Structure 1
Amino acid sequence: RDKDDGLRSVGMPLIDVGYPLAYSPRLGRDSLILVGEKYSKAAAEAMVEEIAEIKGVIESRGVPGVVAPEKKPLKNLLLAGCDMRADVVSSLMGELVVYKRQSQIHIEFPRQNAPKMRILEELYFRGLLRDVADGLCGPGTLGLMCVLAGAERVVFNDAWQPAIEDLLINLKVNRKLLGIEEIELLERPREAAGSGTVQVARARGACQIEVYHGDLCRLFSQARPAELCLIDHFPGSDTKALKQACRCCKETVIV
């Protein structure tokens, strides 16, 4: 690995429930998921069976998801156990629980002074979190926080099918906190990496929520443009085409 590679590229032991810690975690049963490159399936199964603290073992094959349109999307491989994790995400607007299947979603761990939450808080105090599109939503962290902040409408979109599936889980898990009265499933994504745009779900309640699977560059051919579009891409990725696609929104912010 390059010395500048981030956590999502290198892999590491991950605690089952992620939240900012001032000290090393005390591990209980099924509290640790291992992510690495050179585990055999037999070794992974033995670790899960014989070490009570290990919940799952994942073979890393790269950063999972749609990193760039010209690159084939990757999934890491769950060798043994369970890879479902939960992160407790905190901001001045409140707290949410975000579930993710760690073999299929890139690694991102909550920090005390999370830069992305600070950006959202600034937008909130400027009164800009009213009508929001979370253009590369992943499991939904930013968009869900916008709902919690009192947005009137939030559009979620991602080209990666596993991300949309995890988002739907997170809408259900947090529905009381978010004031969701009903979630309606419309159409199941047909391909792992969506190139077109398909609305897969909508929810009503305190906020109007729309969920789309597909390329952000085509999102606003199907969805009404939002006042604010959030683009949370992989570090170092080119966002020029995405910003161009969001020019119909009043404001676009790279997170």
Structure 2
Amino acid sequence: MNCPVCGGDCIENAPTLLARLPHAFAPCPDCMGLVYDKRSPPPDIDTAGPCPSCGKRFIDEVFAQIYRVMAAEGDLAGTEPLAAAATPLVHPGFAMRSAPHLPPRSLVLLSRSVGERAAARLVAEVPEVRGVVRTGAGTPGITDTDAAPQAYTLLAGCDVRADIFPTRAGPIVVYKQQSVLHVEFPRDQNEKILSLEREIGQHRPRTFVDACSGAGTLALAAVRAGIPRVIANDAWYAAAFWTTCNLRVNREVLGIGEVTMHRSCDDLRRRPVARDPVLVATVTGAQEIEVYQGDLRLLPAVLPPEIDLAALDLFEKADAGKVGRITGAWQARVGGAIFIP
């Protein structure tokens, strides 16, 4: 499928992407690169270019060039530590044992400091940079359907990237547009997926609802675990779209049927926050999957009877009163087991 941000071929299917992982960021025998102190400005020496043999470059060399472009454009004074330039998000992201050697267009940058001129130069001059995002207060997405949505600003390039998450049944690939969805750093073990797998082992559900799906990580893990019916929902348009996209991306590894999309990304973007649930996508076959966009408090109206298990991954977990009200209302209307990952 074409990328909804840049129209390019940014989105690969899961088998293709997973096949590249063993050597995605590994150096070749000819690769070199200095390790810089991240707590200090980069030293006043020329940065190395990409390896002439494999085209990769050590991340510290890449960041030194990024730092100098931002300093030249006045976004940095030149006295800040190297780490202050930006937060690097590699594509694809997965648990790594060592610092990566980056191939072209494998890095999305998140930065509070970067301006438009520097962002344009970074995409044009630093071959490893695929997109530059200026961050702000808050986290992309919504905390409630009554709250104003938050988003960062894509200044240049494309900020679509993928993370790889392990599950007991095998890995899943989760794409997202990073300016409109929160960051999830892949680890050797994902605590939310582990909590889902514990609940599956305890309850043996035939139906599972991921009521606050984000980009679809838990819903995908539930499908990969073989639950016969999985329903994903989120009130934020980007979450509903990328959950659907990720079902398509993982279709072969999940072993599911065709993914039918009932709402386009443009349709969803026109109503960024939904209250009444709208059906976004369906999958039929041995496993049935539905994706909705809507307020989780109104979702029971469209759910089938006898929901066995539901994940309520609320943004405001620290608000015990709100969590109690939502889980209590869900229990009264839907029933079944509930867990908060």
The reply to whether TM is greater than 0.5 is yes
Higher RCO by CA contacts (8 Å cutoff, separation 6 or greater): 1
For the residue of structure 2 that corresponds to 1:94, the secondary structure is coil
Higher strand fraction (1 or 2)? 1
- C-alpha deviation, 1:129, in angstroms: 4.0
- 1:179·1:205 contact (CA, 8 Å) conserved in 2? no
> Highest Rg: 1 or 2?
2
- C-alpha deviation, 1:127, in angstroms: 4.3
For the residue of structure 2 that corresponds to 1:212, the secondary structure is strand
Aligned counterparts of 1:129 and 1:53: Cα–Cα separation in 2: 44
The reply to whether residue 145 of structure 1 matches residue 226 of structure 2 is no
**TM, length-normalised to structure 2:** 0.68
- C-alpha deviation, 1:158, in angstroms: 0.3
- Choose which of 240, 244, 253 in structure 1 pairs with 2:328: 244
Structure 2 counterpart of 1:19? 94
Structure 1 counterpart of 2:9? none
- 1:216·1:245 contact (CA, 8 Å) conserved in 2? no
Structure 2 counterpart of 1:48? 123
Aligned counterparts of 2:193 and 2:261: Cα–Cα separation in 1: 29
Code of the aligned partner of 1:230: A
Number of residue pairs the alignment of both structures matches: 245
For the residue of structure 2 that corresponds to 1:91, the secondary structure is coil
Aligned counterparts of 2:256 and 2:302: Cα–Cα separation in 1: 23
For the residue of structure 1 that corresponds to 2:141, the secondary structure is coil
- C-alpha deviation, 1:163, in angstroms: 1.0
Structure 1 counterpart of 2:282? 202
* Shift >4 Å, 4+ stretches: none
Could you tell me the percent identity over the aligned residues?
36
For the residue of structure 2 that corresponds to 1:180, the secondary structure is coil
Code of the aligned partner of 1:227: D
- C-alpha deviation, 1:35, in angstroms: 0.5
Instruction: Map 1:94-113 onto structure 2 (within 5 A).
Output: 94-113=170-189
The reply to whether residue 167 of structure 1 matches residue 248 of structure 2 is no
- 1:129·1:149 contact (CA, 8 Å) conserved in 2? no
Uncovered stretches (5+) of structure 2, i.e. residues with no partner: 1-85
**TM, length-normalised to structure 1:** 0.90
- Choose which of 69, 83, 89 in structure 1 pairs with 2:145: 69
Structure 2 counterpart of 1:89? 165
Higher helix fraction (1 or 2)? 2
Uncovered stretches (5+) of structure 1, i.e. residues with no partner: 1-10
